[in-house]
């Protein structure tokens, strides 16, 4: 009996398993995926100037091969010779062309990174100016080699000039983010020529051994002219007129050019330092010198009937 019960149990189990298999639905097979459509473009690259065909090929939109000589930064492609250059971000599928596209190619020439350009532009003026400031040999007379100026404004100008270009170099290295990464190599000669020659021109005169600040020299020239109006022991007053010294020609326009030059000096120093206390001092000095100049101007008008009517007191045509 035990054997019969075991056989019956096994038969029941097998029968139940077959029944479950028959009742379980089979999964439907997935439909095959549709093949993606691949679009190929027929592309022509023409020389912008000669219209000569440089390349003609069938192009998959995600693959292209070009001459290594014309690396991407050196290339300029246009849809029309007179149109703007295409951007690096432009995609072939989104351009207003069909499956056949013609592009006009221009070789921009060897390229340099903008970082290199900025560093070259700024390092040159910094070094050149310091060469004149320290009066290296072969710049001025040999007796002035490695000497320093006695004018404080010369040292201040050197500090301001150096600070300006050191700041620009540091900004190029650590601050600027340049969208267009390169520029043609030929442009660096033009840019550096401008900055370097300007720095040499300024530095030569500012650091010259005979340099005197223009406003101070003008002020001194006016004082000499006024002094010469009164010979020793004489009390006779005369109208001051311009002399052969160009710094005295301002007498044609103002009665007190010594104050005009003094004001110019302080305005220049204010602009150079861009310091609020200096600006405040300049404003106060201007008010005071205007009071003095207008008083002097009135006294000239009273004493001399033929006093030039074109002159103002301190500022030409204004005050």
State residue 140's pLDDT score. Answer: 93
One domain for residues 161 and 192? yes
Residue 153 located in a structural domain = yes
Residue 313 located in a structural domain = no
Total domains in the fold of the chain: 3
Residue 183 located in a structural domain = yes
Tens of pLDDT, residues 91-106: 777 777 766 777 777 7
**Cα dihedral across residues 167, 168, 173, 175: positive or negative:** positive
One domain for residues 95 and 52? yes
Domain around 59: 41-108
State residue 118's pLDDT score. Answer: 83
Question: Which stretches in the chain have pLDDT values below 50?
Answer: 1-4, 6-11, 21, 35, 61-65
Tens of pLDDT, residues 71-92: 666 667 787 777 777 776 777 7
Residue 90 located in a structural domain = yes
State residue 209's pLDDT score. Answer: 92
8: Cβ contacts below 8 Å, ≥ 6 apart: none
State residue 2's pLDDT score. Answer: 41
How is the chain classified by DSSP, letter by letter? -HHHHHHHHHHHHHHHHHHHHHHSPPPPPPPPPPPPPPP-EEEEEEETTT--EEEEEEE-TT-----TTS-GGGEEEESSTTSPPPPTT--GGGSS--SEEEEEEEE--SEEEHHHHHHHHHHHHHHHHHHHHTT-TTTS-GGGTT---S-HHHHHHHHHHHHHHHHHHHHHHHT---SS-EEEHHHHHHHHHHHHHHHHHHHHHHT-TT---HHHHHHHHHHHHHHHTS-TT----------SSGGGGGGGTBS-HHHHHHHHHHHHHHHHH--HHHHHHHHHHHHHHHHHHHHHHHHHHHH-TT--TT-BSSSTTT-
Query: What CATH code is carried by the domain that includes residue 81?
Result: 3.10.20.90
């Amino acid at each position: 009996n035990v054997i019969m019960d075991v056989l019956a149990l096994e038969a029941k189990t097998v029968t139940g398993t077959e029944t479950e298999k028959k009742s379980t639905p089979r999964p439907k097979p997935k439909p095959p995926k549709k093949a993606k459509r691949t679009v190929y473009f027929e592309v022509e690259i023409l020389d912008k100037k000669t219209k000569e065909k440089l390349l003609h090929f069938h192009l998959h939109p995600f693959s292209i091969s070009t001459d290594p000589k014309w690396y991407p930064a050196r290339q300029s492609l246009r849809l029309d010779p007179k149109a703007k250059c295409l951007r690096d971000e432009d995609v072939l599928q989104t351009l207003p062309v069909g499956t056949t596209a013609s592009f006009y190619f221009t070789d921009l020439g060897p390229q340099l990174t903008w970082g290199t350009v900025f560093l070259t532009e700024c390092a040159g003026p910094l070094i050149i100016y310091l060469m004149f400031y320290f009066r290296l040999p072969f710049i001025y007379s040999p007796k002035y080699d490695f000497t320093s100026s006695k004018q404080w404004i010369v040292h201040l100008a050197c500090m301001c000039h150096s600070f300006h270009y050191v700041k620009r170099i540091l900004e190029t290295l650590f601050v600027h983010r340049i969208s267009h990464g390169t520029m043609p190599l030929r442009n660096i000669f033009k840019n550096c020529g401008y900055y370097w020659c300007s720095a040499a021109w300024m530095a030569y005169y500012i650091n010259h051994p005979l340099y005197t600040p223009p406003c101070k020299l003008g002020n001194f020239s006016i004082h000499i002219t006024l002094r010469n109006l009164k010979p020793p022991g004489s009390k006779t007053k005369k109208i001051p007129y311009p002399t052969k010294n160009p710094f005295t020609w301002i007498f044609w326009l103002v009665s007190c050019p010594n104050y005009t030059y003094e004001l110019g000096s302080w305005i220049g120093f204010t602009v150079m330092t861009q310091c609020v206390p200096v600006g405040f001092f300049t404003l106060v000095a201007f008010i005071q010198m205007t009071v003095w100049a207008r008083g002097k101007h009135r006294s000239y008008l009273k004493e001399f009937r033929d006093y030039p009517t074109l002159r103002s007191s301190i500022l030409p045509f204004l005050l």
